[in-house]
Amino acid sequence: MQILLGEVRFVVISSRETAKEVMKINENIFVDRPDGVIPRIVFYSGKAISFTPYGEYWKQLRKICSSKLLSPQCVRSLRSTMEEEVSDFATSISSKEGSPINLSKMLFTLTFGLISRVIMGKKGNNQALLSSIEEWKQGGAEMALAKLLYHFDCKLCDGVKNEDLDMTEDTGLGSTVKRKHELYLIPIPYHPSSPAK
């Protein structure tokens, strides 16, 4: 099955036989990564392992990562660091007993702390850097969503007219705000490069 998201076609693999054909038999056709502005700027023109095109260079990087960076000896050497960070994380959660916590933010801080200690040898508690990373993530997500939505137009369901739309908000129980009446739209693929009809 194929779906079109924006201008990019995706193939949906939904059976074991098809997955085997894609991942084993025709691997070279499907394993390439998309080229884009962000990989070129942030990841050294796509030279990082996550954006390197499939080929000899990628195979060499994968071999180095699995034999050197992610070897059992290397992972074992980081065990005490990981245990210490996770212990600090658990202590932080238990100290907030009875009050709400932002688990996503705490897990992000844990991950950032682990990476900082492994790479730099010290804990990264720089709040300015953490908030910059958070802003960058949010901006990247918004940009990706905006690019996707740019390629769709929407129309109302059959029988619904613009003047029939009621955008009144209803608070309902508690403080949850929602539309009084659900709004259903039909997405229509839109290709900005094609001439208007």
Per-residue pLDDT tens over the stretch 25-80: 877 777 766 667 777 777 777 777 777 777 888 888 888 888 887 788 888 888 88
What is the average per-residue pLDDT within 109-126?
Answer: 78
What is the average per-residue pLDDT within 142-170?
Answer: 69
Q: What is the largest CA-CA distance in the chain?
A: 68
Residue 95's pLDDT is 92
What is the average per-residue pLDDT within 95-112?
Answer: 87
Q: What sign does the dihedral 26-28-29-31 (CA atoms) show?
A: positive
C-alpha distance from residue 22 to each of 74, 100, 131, 137 (Å): 33, 45, 40, 31
Residue 175's pLDDT is 46
Phi, psi dihedral angles at 160 (to 5 degrees)? -95, 130
Position 168 pLDDT exceeds 60: yes
Q: What sign does the dihedral 98-100-103-106 (CA atoms) show?
A: negative
CB-based burial of residue 84 (10 Å sphere; 0-12 exposed, 13-18 middle, 19+ buried)? middle
Supply 113's token pair.
């702390």
Residue 186's pLDDT is 73
Position 182 pLDDT exceeds 70: no
Position 116 pLDDT exceeds 60: yes
Position 174 pLDDT exceeds 50: no
What is the average per-residue pLDDT within 95-106?
Answer: 87
Position 103 pLDDT exceeds 70: yes
Q: What sign does the dihedral 178-184-186-192 (CA atoms) show?
A: negative
Task: With beta carbons less than 8 A apart as the criterion, state whether 150 and 192 touch.
Answer: yes
Query: Average pLDDT, whole number, for the chain?
Result: 75
Determine the Cα–Cα distance for residues 113 and 122; give it in Å rounded to an integer. 8
